[in-house]
Amino acid sequence: MSLSAERIAIADRAILQTFERSSVAWQTVPHWDTGDRGQSLVRGDIVSGLPGPGASATLRARPLAMRPLRLKTKTVTFLMTLGQATATTPDALLAAVIPRAVELAALFDNSVLAAVRKQAVAAGRAAAAAAPVAAPAPAPAPESAWYPKLAAPVVANAATKKERTTTFGTILEALIKGRQVLEDNGYRSPSCIIASTAHFTDLSQWAGIRPATEALLTGHIVNSLIRASQLDRVDVSGTGTSFMIMLGRQQAIAQGAAATASPGEEPVDLAISVPPSLEVVGENANGLIELAVRMSFATRVKDARGVVVFHT
């Protein structure tokens, strides 16, 4: 069983448009098309990873190391009757695929953001484990610069009389230190911040009579800020940790416009083999038509030095 080319084209257009509006990663990370829908591996093009404990951040002797990455497939399946799928108008099909395109975007974001933060989190935890315990205030290891701490707010409470622990000055200092790491590695264009809900709240808090974001995110520091639930209370070794990713840029990419930017010079890009689209699986034993909203991709962190991950 198959749908007409026209009906599939209508569904694919609706899926892609919905996905573009819903996906954080699609709006913030440039992508390129592999041109092969059957592809299973894609080249890694690794320029530099983060150093291990005690090592310095030097470039690889052999850049663009050919470490193939396996493409991931994300799929959201659903069932329809033949009458619904082939009706005179595509309304029923569109009503089914649009919310599933949103679900696909959430699965995609979770996979991409996990891959983007992975090296910084691992390096930061390794640095903490290697730090001398006896020292009252050990100096951070060089690699921990990519995994700085920025506490989430403690909301004022009449019973405990706790105040917010994150201030305008704290946020500004953290962002500038993050920018220092990115700029020292060549990423001097305005950065992109992908924030957990807690960190997004911090960035949006009021400082005097103006939002902190107005002063913080201007003047070539950050020109793109977006919230992602996938960074809220992530389980890291049994601890719920909220993250905020500062993504370095070689280009000045406007808010939400990463899908139109060239991916070649950026520290992170997405290789897309199958774009968000409709797949017709076929009729099942109950006489229903099984369909799927699917995509195939790989997240390439080509230069891990271009990603700073703040944690609570």
- What pLDDT digit, counting tens, does each position of 239-284 carry? 899 999 999 999 999 999 999 999 999 999 999 999 999 999 999 9
Give the count of beta carbons closer than 10 Å to the beta carbon of residue 217: 18
Instruction: Check whether 123 has a pLDDT greater than 90.
Output: no
Q: C-alpha 275: how far from its chain's center?
A: 17
Say what the pLDDT of residue 69 is: 94
User: 5-131+140-311: what CATH class?
Assistant: alpha beta
Domain segments of the chain as ranges: 5-131+140-311
pLDDT-derived band of residue 140, with 50, 70 and 90 as boundaries?
A: very low
Q: Which long-range contacts (CB under 8 A, 24 or more apart) does 231-239 make?
A: 231/113, 231/117, 231/194, 231/195, 231/196, 231/199, 232/196, 232/197, 232/198, 233/196, 236/121, 236/125, 237/125
Mean pLDDT value across the chain: 86
Nearest to 246 by CA among 143, 145, 129: 145
Q: Quick one: 134 exposed, middle or buried, by C-beta within 10 A (0-12, 13-18, 19+)?
A: exposed
Instruction: Check whether 142 has a pLDDT greater than 70.
Output: no
Say what the pLDDT of residue 216 is: 57
3-class DSSP assignment, residue 289: strand
Q: Where are the alpha helices (DSSP H) in 23-90?
A: 24-28, 82-85
Rounded mean pLDDT, 111-119? 96
Say what the pLDDT of residue 129 is: 74
Say what the pLDDT of residue 64 is: 77
Who wins on pLDDT, 217 or 92?
A: 92
The tokens of 195 are what? 């924030």
Determine the Cα–Cα distance for residues 262 and 265; give it in Å rounded to an integer: 7
Say what the pLDDT of residue 127 is: 75
Q: Which long-range contacts (CB under 8 A, 24 or more apart) does 262-267 make?
A: 262/30, 263/30, 263/31, 263/32, 264/32, 266/29, 266/30, 266/302, 266/306, 267/47, 267/187, 267/301, 267/302, 267/303, 267/304, 267/305, 267/306, 267/307
- What pLDDT digit, counting tens, does each position of 39-95 carry? 999 999 988 888 765 556 566 777 776 789 999 999 999 999 999 999 999 999 999
